Amino acid sequence: HGAAEPEETGTEALSRRTPAPAWLPTAKGEEGDFCLRSSDCAAGLCCARHFWSKICKPVLREGQVCTRHRRKGAHGLEIFQRCQCAEGLACRLQREHSGPADASRLHTCQR
């Protein structure tokens, strides 16, 4: 009879509803905080994948390297996502070409 007791207790614990996980931020997340969507993060930050979780990262400023996706949905395949460029900036091929033509296909946030 004693062996059945832990089993019942385990079933009770599983059926109980629990509040949101403790790691979910109650206020807007700061840089490096876990998030589910960009609205979970403070102003100037977005929610982006970092390994297999998502954290608040800074929105990109002018001159910073950005990611331009050729295929729709490719953003979801990245392990280290970057935020989009800040408002008023676009992710474009870097203008300066110093070196072999294919040496740098770098995109940066530009006006």
User: Which residues are CB-contacts of 77 (< 8 A; sequence separation ≥ 6)?
Assistant: none
**Segment 10-22 mean pLDDT:** 49
pLDDT digits (tens, 9 = 90+) for 60-73: 999 999 998 766 66
Q: Which two tokens stand for residue 70?
A: 């050729």
pLDDT for position 24: 55
Where along the chain do its domains lie?
A: 33-95+104-110
State the CATH architecture for 33-95+104-110: Ribbon (2.10)
Instruction: Specify which residues 93 forms β-bridges with.
Output: 107
For 50-109, the pLDDT digits (tens) are 999 999 999 999 999 999 876 666 555 679 999 999 999 999 998 765 555 555 689 999
CA atoms in the 13 A half-sphere facing the CB of 1: 0
How does residue 4 score in pLDDT terms, banded at 50, 70 and 90? very low
